[in-house]
Structure 1
Amino acid sequence: MTAVLRVENLVRHFGGVKAVNNVGFEVAPGELRALIGPNGAGKSTCFNMLMGQLKPTAGKVFLNGEDITGRPPREIWRLGVGRTFQITGTYQSMTVAENVQMALISHHRKLFSVLPRAHRLYREEALDLLETVGMVDQADRACAILAYGDLKRLELAIALANSPRLLLMDEPTAGMAPRERINLMQLTSDIVRDRGVSVLFTEHDMDVVFAHSHHIMVLNRGELIAEGSAAEVRADARVQEVYLGGGTLFAAEDAHA
């Protein structure tokens, strides 16, 4: 079976700093895969290359067998890759439903031709996505008054607007309360199961990672040092020394991402 995402020997240098160095992996259809490592491990730089925000110094990225290396983010999005970010970005003056509708309008390539009647377009489709993330009862609320956990769920609905085959989630539970974290990741697991979407996510909450990941990769100084199941990663001596044991062997990277 063809991998949804295949990464080959991915490299990104910032001057003399090797933020990502010879990283390779695959994400299978319907897989929920975690990429972990403390701040500075290279996670954000890796994500930005996968989504086109950064061009690799070397290496290749394939989506369903097609080379997408260095393509612009909008083109990658149209090929079926969604993304959520550490900091949510929504139109605060619009309602919950209108935010999803705007994503759907863009997906259907009607952004500039329908603005005067945008509030009427794709509403039912937007409500279906809001139903998926448990937000349909808040469809007509303004985003400006939403709780942070609800904003995260809305962002997930927006990320699903282009019917992605692959979803990149950059620290999806950052800033959330413990119960909200559990609920959001359970929701993500349900989406993986029900829609067959593949998910690659970064996360600092190890309880979330070990509870929900099908496969875990550990990044240190831009290099993959371990991967496997939760039990295998927990037992890996390098992970215990460098990451889970609170080591300080990580180079600063997020300032460059």
Structure 2
Amino acid sequence: MSLLRVSNLSMSFGGVKAVDDVSFDVKPGELLALIGPNGAGKSTCFNIVNGQLRPTHGSVMLDGHELVGMRPRDIWRRGVGRTFQVAATFNSMTVLENVQIALVSREKRLYGLWKPAASHFEDEALALLEQVGMTAHAQRACSVLAYGDVKRVEMAIALANRPKLLLMDEPTAGMAPQERTELMALTKRLSAERNIGVLFTEHSMDVVFSTADRIIVLARGKLIAQGDAETIRNDANVQAVYFGTGKTFQPRAALSHDGGEPHTEPRT
């Protein structure tokens, strides 16, 4: 059963189709990588799912509920967490306080100066930090952390909303190889433990092929291939796009949600 179902998604900017009739799904507990060269439409597609952009056409369903037309904060409350390419934390606040603020937001609570938010949800925040291996750093300011640790804090913040779906935009950007491996191993573990579907974009093919359960590939706004790592490695369209065979592609038949034939074929 699908957690997220994206159907016939299209987005135009003037006469340019950034996303062109794209369909895919994400299952609970699955890590789905969305890849493609620069200008492929990855970010546009990603931001439509998150509610930052409204598509020209198509549907984005989460657990049977339409997300198109909803504001990002309302989509977040529906159970969609997100991490960003550049980690989004409050540098002047402690690690613990960053997670507590996310928990306060989840509960839709406001506190006055006489009752600071930092006095609330401390136990739950510490439990989240334990899950991402950051308990020892709880009282440190985010500004003094190594970048890989900041990414772990961001993960704890994303988990504060108990998401069904986690969107990760270039999660390992700017990280050293060992940090990349550790963060994606953590993501895979938490996805399995919490049955969270994960949709992530990523430029590192090592990360994609070692982590993703399935991979979908965009090129010039079209979905040109999907499948497991081996299928994607051997796909002629993907090789043409990534390795510069000099070939292009043209529409053939739409891809099915469960991984049918690619809808493009190379031509010279």
After TM superposition, the score normalised by the length of structure 2 is 0.89
Distance across 2 between alignment mates of 1:247 and 1:208: 26
**Counterpart residue number, 1:80:** 79
Distance across 2 between alignment mates of 1:149 and 1:229: 27
**Counterpart residue number, 1:5:** 4
Deviation per residue, 1:40-73 (Å, 9 max, x gap): 1111111110011000011010000111112100
After TM superposition, the score normalised by the length of structure 1 is 0.93
**Counterpart residue number, 1:120:** 119
Counterpart residue type for residue 143 of structure 2: A
**Counterpart residue number, 1:24:** 23
Deviation per residue, 1:194-220 (Å, 9 max, x gap): 111110000000011000111000010
CA contact (8 A) 1:49 1:70 kept: no
**Counterpart residue number, 1:232:** 231
Q: Pairwise mapping of residues 1-257 of structure 1 onto structure 2 (< 5 A)?
A: 1=1, 3-112=2-111, 116-245=115-244
Distance across 1 between alignment mates of 2:176 and 2:161: 28
Report the Cα offset of residue 167 of structure 1. 0.2
Report the Cα offset of residue 116 of structure 1. 3.4
RMSD: 1.7
CA contact (8 A) 2:111 2:117 kept: no
Distance across 2 between alignment mates of 1:247 and 1:147: 42
Distance across 1 between alignment mates of 2:212 and 2:88: 26
- Match of 1:116, SS state, is coil
Distance across 2 between alignment mates of 1:247 and 1:113: 62
Change (3 A) 1:56 1:153: same
CA contact (8 A) 2:37 2:241 kept: no
Report the Cα offset of residue 230 of structure 1. 0.3
Distance across 1 between alignment mates of 2:125 and 2:113: 16
Report the Cα offset of residue 111 of structure 1. 3.1
Change (3 A) 1:57 1:142: same
Change (3 A) 1:66 1:138: same
How many aligned positions are there?
249
Change (3 A) 1:196 1:247: farther
- The structure 1 segments of at least 4 consecutive aligned residues displaced by more than 2 Å after TM superposition are 111-116, 244-249
Change (3 A) 1:248 1:90: farther
How high is the sequence identity, in percent, across the aligned residues? 60
Change (3 A) 1:53 1:246: farther
CA contact (8 A) 1:189 1:212 kept: yes
Structure 1 portions without partners, runs of 5+: 250-257
Higher-RCO chain (CA-CA 8 Å, sequence separation at least 6): 1
Larger Rg, first or second structure (1 or 2): 2
